[in-house]
Chains A and B, each alone.
Chain A
Amino acid sequence: MGGPTVASTVALAGAGDEAAFAQLVAAYHADMARVAFVACGDRGLAEDAVQSAWLVAWRKLHSLRDPDRVRPWLLSVTANEARQLLRRRHGPVVEIDVEAPGDARGDPSTSIERVDLRRALARLSPDDRALLAMRYVVDLTSGELATAVGTSPSTARARLSRAIDRLRKELRDG
């Protein structure tokens, strides 16, 4: 989605147009699911978080002042819903599954082992995990990231930098 199409679609969806809302779901659901999954570390919780986020969007989309920012806004809602779900579950649910060597899902382009990544992510807060996902998984820009976390771009960068430093330490010392 791009340019004026996004704004008009958001406007229609905010007014209750089902087709427009379905377009938004088709466009952004995957990104929201990835952010939720990284934040929760659990597929079921991630599904619930995204479902809740879409419900919030259905009800509150009309209040979005800048329709062009709908993507970071949706991701922000998703991160909030994920955090609330985790809180209800009394803490982050990041299961440490032991993968078989040579797992097909492993990425040969990175030197970071999947199991190590999960373990390191589990030591971060859900907000920091969502922040990392928004930056590195769905590639939000610095401005979009600031919109998503509700801070200035510099503050968002500083938070991201701290999260990376923690991960670096965890993975190196790990």
Chain B
Amino acid sequence: MAERDRFELDLAAALRAYALDAPTEVRPTELAQQFAAAYPHGRTALGPWRPVAVPRVAWLLLLLAGLLAAMVAGMLVAGSQMQRKLPAVVPPFGPAFACPPGSRPDTPGPVDQARPGVFNHLDLYTHMAFDRHAGRLLVLAPAAGTPNDVETWTFDVCTNTWAPMNPDQEPSGFAGAKLIYDVDSGVTIALEFNQLRTVA
């Protein structure tokens, strides 16, 4: 502190004199006993142990660790809850198709067998459906040279062989029709605009 001037010295003396009226009387032991009775220290019962002063950064890390633990616990709790299953939208298909015993579906079919032709862009109109009862693919393909006509073929998935399906009764006017296999009735339906026709 800088050296005090006359006023400061006078002020100090006046303040000290003024403070003589302060209530300085006290009974220290009684006061300590009073506080100890009213507000007992929890640590006293533990003996001489005292908590170590923890730096603020340690408290921060502890808080972050607590938050992380709470998040993990929350995820575990949420993950252990029963999941509500949505009702099935698609009805069950029934038993899956299986090739008969002794068949070799992994063996390639005959190389030179007859098969649907590929007609440039017209293959865009070739459609297929799988007949689960018979284990064959049904193919509706544009007929060669006559785009409005179609050929129907089947492909046996157990022998990997192609066969004409309706060589004499092809569904004329169904070029570009979509094929749909009806699970319940076990038939394949050709759909062309407003016309429906079973093809098997």
Q: Which residues of A contact B (CB under 8 A)?
A: 11, 14-19, 21-23, 25-26, 29-30, 33-34, 36-38, 43, 46-47, 50, 54-55, 58-59, 62, 65, 105-107, 109-112, 114, 117-118, 132-133, 135-137, 141-142, 157, 164, 167-168
Contacts and interface: CB of A to CB of B under 8 A. Distances in A.
Interface in B16-43: 16-24, 26, 28-29, 31-33, 35-36, 39-41, 43
A88 to B, nearest CB: 19
A38 B19 contact: yes
B11 A105 contact: no
B50 A137 contact: no
B29 A22 contact: yes
A157 B1 CA distance: 8
Given A107-B14, A117-B14, A29 B32 contact: no
Contacts of B41: 15-16
Given A34-B19, A36-B22, A107-B13, 8 more contacts: A16-B40, A17-B44, A33-B24, A43-B21, A50-B23, A62-B43, A157-B1, A167-B11
B82 to A, nearest CB: 48
Q: How large is the interface on B (under 10, 10 to 19, 20 to 34, 35 or more residues)?
A: 35 or more
- Pick the most buried of A22, A59, A135: most chain B CB atoms within 10 A of its CB: A22
A109 B23 contact: no
B22 A106 contact: no
A47 B53 CA distance: 32
B53 A65 contact: yes
Contacts of B43: 15-16, 62
B51 A106 contact: no
6 contacts: A46-B23, A50-B26, A58-B32, A110-B17, A132-B11, A157-B1
Nearest to A13: B32
Contacts of B21: 37, 43, 105
B10 A37 contact: no
B20 A105 contact: yes
Contact of B13 (A37, A47, A109): A109
Nearest to A168: B7
B75 interface: no
A34 B24 contact: yes
Contacts of A107: 13-14, 16-17
B116 to A, nearest CB: 89
B10 A19 contact: no
B24 A136 contact: no
Contact of A23 (B1, B14, B22, B28): B28
B88 interface: no
B28 A22 contact: yes
B119 to A, nearest CB: 91
A16 B50 CA distance: 10
Contact of A26 (B10, B15, B18, B28): B28
B56 to A, nearest CB: 11
B199 to A, nearest CB: 89
Contacts of A43: 21-23
A94 to B, nearest CB: 11
B200 interface: no
B112 interface: no
Contacts of A14: 50
Nearest to A64: B53
B16 A46 contact: no
